[in-house]
Chain A
Amino acid sequence: MGLPKLGDRIDPAQLQRLGSLPIKARVIVEGALSGLHRANVHGSSVEFAQHKEYSPGDELRHVDWKAYAKQDRYYVKQFEQESQLTVYLVLDASASMAFAGGGMAKLEYAGLVLAALGYLTISQQDKVGLLACGDRAIETHVPPRARTTHLHDLLAVLDSIMGKGGTGDESPAAALRRIAELTRRRRALIVLASDLFEEADETLAVLAQLRAQHHDVSVVHVLDPHERTFPYDGLTQFESLETAHRMLVNPAAIRREYLDRMEAFLQRCRGALAAAGVDYHLVSTDRPLEDTLLDLIATRSRLGPTRRRAG
């Protein structure tokens, strides 16, 4: 089976059968970008600004030879370059993210979305870092870098997290606080992929704090379709992924109330994050990943890039 054709939407399940994470990330990104005008993306990274007379120390590759031929003097081209963006990817790798209602697990879906984002960020020469939460015993932190080789490191870590599956019940709030400490006053784009299942709404509070510190914050709220529709029937024993709770129940008897509670939860999340100005994306794991990525990109482009001069 070859790569899906560009322009097609890739079914997450189909994507699962692809090879390594870097390939998947690339497929997602290219699939997503095929829906945009590629030139806009490529041409916006480095743009010519003015000429400057050569002085020792300037990079020879920036010498404008055409101008030398005309003027017989050495000029160096100066470019207007985007300011380098620091992107923190936060992956909720708690046990609840390991739930797969029949298709892709939430953790895998979230991981792919973040991998694609990482790929895209590196390709734009921005810095990208990674924090994962879930298992309190393991701290997973990949500092932000912009090098291409960094992408491989980052994706390797991501791949290992996804390979282990979700463990533990640590809330993403701790990882987000860590980012607040790491970035200090420098603005960063923080993307959290999580199901936001926790007893207290601590994560929502921390996200609001980060937004108050002028960070750009996006939340990819990943839920499995089964969690949205509760399609079970017949006597079923439900077992918790994070605790030892289990219960034998006739799903039909409680479906209505469960769905009401779920809807109330989503409303609460949506309302709290919108109030804080946090970019919120509720995605289902059966949704094409490119669409999710495009949503994220579209939101970011609406915000507009921060530019500075660079030589």
Chain B
Amino acid sequence: MGFLAPLMLIGVLGLAVPIAIHLIGRQRAKVVKFAALDFLLATKRRTARRFRLRERVLLAVRAVACAAIAIALAKPYTSCARKGPRVQRGPQAAVLVIDDSFGAGYRLGGTPWLRRATDEARRLLIQLGPEAEVAIVRAAEGADHPSELTRDHLRLRDQLLALEPSARPADTTRALARAAQLLASSSHARRTVYLISLVARTGLRPDDPPWGKDGPELVTVDLRPAAMPNLAITSLRVDADPGAGRRGMAFDAEIANFGDAPANVELSLSIGDRVVARGTLAVGTRERKLKRFLATLPPGTRAIDASVSITGDALPIDDRRWVRASLRDRVRVLLVNGDPSTVRHDDELFYLEAALRPGDREDSGTQVRAITTEELAGIEPRAKGAAGAIELDELDVVVLANVAALPPERAAVLGQWVRRGGGILVAPGDRVDPAAYDKTMLPLLPQSLRDPIDTAWGATPQDRDSRALRLVKWEADHSIFAPFSTTAPELANAKFHKIVLLGPTTDTADRKVLARFTNGAAAMVEASIGAGRTILYTSTLDRDWNDLPIHPGFLPLVQQTVRHLARKHAQLAVSDHLVGGSVALPTPDLKKLQIQGPDGTSAIFEGDRITGRTSVRFTRTDRPGVYRVLGTDPSNVTRPRDDLAFVVNVDPRGSDLTPAPASALPASGRGGGSGPADDQRRVELWHGLAAALLLLLLIEGLLVQR
């Protein structure tokens, strides 16, 4: 410990003053010879000890107060190893880059890390001194940056006090670049950037340095705790779950463990305001895992917000993720009839249409359109606008039933549509020529076709049934076979007399045989093509090659198959908006649109902002959660528009707080000037002493009053 004004220590001799006064006062106490001393003694015995103690405490307080005055005037200080950054006081230009990303909301001992950061920034501001020109740059992605440096430290301090964690990930590189720009405009030789950040690797782009060799000096203020484990829900997808009926939904939440210890995560699914499912999931170190919840939407709702949340985490903002779950629109199916017939039951689509439109009810969930092979020419671009044109993008599934190989251009159009997310079911028949299919249809098939085998060929009518193939070994876990047991007689009893055999696999992904016949040949093969799917059924969809259509299993099988193929399309309809992003909202016949955010804020589009437009763009997606929409139609009726409501989630990149390596930070430029290296930090103690002195005087006053 040292003193800035050691001469003032002479004043410590003042310690003797209260002692002397006490002793003299003791000697100068009036002496009274008193007759009724017995009364006093009886009174005094109880108070004498307290009186003596009080006198001694009072003496000690006064003595210490006298000494404290002298010591405080001597301005004591102590030196300790510098923990914080090296700061030089005086004229200079400095930018404080503060990480206010949502990671800064990481709670340490009950308070967010950002409080530490702003406290440190305020200390830095004091240490820089009033002559320093300073700016504060926030490091959250999309944050507004100041336009100039200032000496108004009071305003800067207010800015620091008002700083709250945003809901956006960090973009430290951009903030550093902005800091360098601000400093470049300064005439000071000493230009420094103080980076007060968690320095997460996701916020830095080492290949995009914020400054060159003439850039400022970079001083990193390390306030990062030793470990910052974090669990986050990094994605949440909702998908129709046909197995659970029309209202069935499957929620797939991805949980990431960014910590160095495995975690047992408790999850819950909420639909609307109600928790409908709970579960646990063990997630290993640095591991991501999927958790699926199956639930049904409440009756009477077509669209509702749902969320999955986890508990027990120091960074709560990424512990919940929202999704908008809506009942899928009716599956629109185009049936291409390769073998039409005027006799109803001989028609290729007779059974299929009946199965997809049971009872021909409107609410069957399937919108079926049947065309012939020739009419399929309507999908070609040249048919656009002409009569008979078919808009593939308005379809979910196309079924090619015994359709002869398509011309290459037509197959290509279909192939492109499938890649965009369409679903196609191909079923062979007598019209199908495997060789011709090899030429043009391979982009639509999971496997090439070979010649069919006919088990009834040469058999007597008595042997015909016994030689027929049957369905066995289907994927019971697959959504198509979800309604069936592993030995479902409604499928297993069907007899297949003729099937096509399959050749080598094609250029598809995720190929999977969903069912096989008794001879081991594939009965149903699925594969992904781009964002779409294709399923190849190796027998006919009418009774020409099998009798499945007259078995009870036929209807659920084709229904499930069509729904399964349409799933991709439904998923694409669900957007995952991120905080800070813009959302385009259609404004069908609305004269006013009001959007209410999860934090109670609202935005209104009306007048010129909405008139004559088909959509509006909303950009104030500052907080994660559900944004509800109220629409006012031309008749001035305002009602909630659930179909337009949307959810916003935090960018999962911000959840990864893994520290960046030192090499990821930009090197200091030459603009930092040169200062003496000093690893010792001086801590002035007189402020504390002055406070203690005030306290002592207060105690002294209280003791005297008693």
Contact = CB atoms under 8 A, between A and B. Distances in A.
Nearest to A256: B43
Given A236-B30, A249-B48, A197 B40 contact: no
Given A235-B26, A248-B26, A249-B48, A241 B35 contact: yes
B25 interface: yes
B226 interface: no
B25 A254 contact: no
A237 B29 contact: yes
B81 interface: no
Interface residues of B, number: 22
B39 interface: yes
B332 to A, nearest CB: 99
Contacts of B48: 247, 249
Interface string B30-43: 11111111111111
A252 B51 CA distance: 12
Interface stretch (A112-120, A155-163, A257-265, A287-295): A257-265
Contacts of A243: 37
Nearest to A254: B43
Interface string A72-108: 0000000000000000000000001111000000100
A98 B33 CA distance: 9
A299 to B, nearest CB: 26
A247 B26 CA distance: 12
Given A254-B40, A261-B42, A99 B35 contact: yes
A237 B44 contact: no
Contact of B44 (A97, A227, A247): A247
A236 B43 contact: no
A82 to B, nearest CB: 39
A234 B30 contact: yes
A261 B37 CA distance: 12
Interface in A171-204: 195, 197, 199
B47 interface: yes
A138 interface: no
A238 B35 CA distance: 9
A5 interface: no
B47 to A, nearest CB: 6
Contact of B32 (A98, A232, A258): A232
B35 A236 contact: no
Contact of A254 (B29, B33, B44): B44
A253 interface: yes
A237 B29 CA distance: 6
Contacts of B33: 98-99, 238-241
Interface in A198-234: 199, 224, 227, 232, 234
A37 B231 CA distance: 113
B34 A239 contact: yes
A238 B40 contact: yes
A236 B29 contact: yes
A37 B35 CA distance: 39
Contact of A195 (B28, B35, B40, B44): B35
A195 B43 CA distance: 20
B30 A237 contact: yes
Nearest to B45: A247
A258 B43 contact: yes
A262 B36 contact: yes
Contacts of A234: 29-30
A239 B36 CA distance: 10
Contacts of B41: 245, 247
Question: Mostly helix, strand, loop or mixed at chain A's interface?
Answer: mixed
B358 to A, nearest CB: 102
A237 B32 contact: yes
Contact of A245 (B28, B29, B37, B51): B37
A96 B44 contact: no
B35 A199 contact: no
Contact of B38 (A199, A224, A249, A257): A199
A249 B51 contact: yes
Given A232-B30, A238-B40, A258-B43, A253 B35 contact: no
B30 A258 contact: no
A20 interface: no
B51 A239 contact: no
B34 A240 contact: yes
Contacts of A254: 40, 43-44, 47
Identify which of B26, B30, B35, B48 gathers the most chain A CB atoms within 10 Å of its CB. B35
A265 B38 CA distance: 11
A235 B37 contact: no
Nearest to A199: B38
Contact of B29 (A197, A248, A253): A248
A148 interface: no
Interface string B603-628: 00000000000000000000000000
Contacts of B31: 236-239
Contact of A227 (B25, B30, B35): B35
Contacts of B35: 96-99, 106, 195, 197, 224, 227, 241-242
Contacts of B40: 238, 247, 249, 254, 258
Contacts of A195: 35
A96 B33 CA distance: 9
A250 interface: yes
Nearest to B52: A248
Contact of B39 (A97, A106, A224, A265): A265
A261 B43 contact: yes
Contacts of A199: 38
Query: Which 3 A-B pairs have CB atoms at the shortest separation, nearest pair first?
Result: A99-B35, A96-B35, A240-B37
Given A98-B33, A249-B40, A258-B36, 11 more contacts: A197-B36, A232-B30, A235-B26, A239-B31, A239-B32, A242-B35, A245-B41, A247-B44, A249-B48, A254-B44, A258-B43
21 contacts: A96-B35, A99-B34, A106-B35, A197-B36, A234-B30, A235-B25, A236-B29, A236-B32, A238-B31, A238-B34, A239-B32, A239-B37, A240-B33, A240-B34, A247-B48, A249-B40, A249-B44, A249-B48, A254-B43, A258-B39, A262-B36
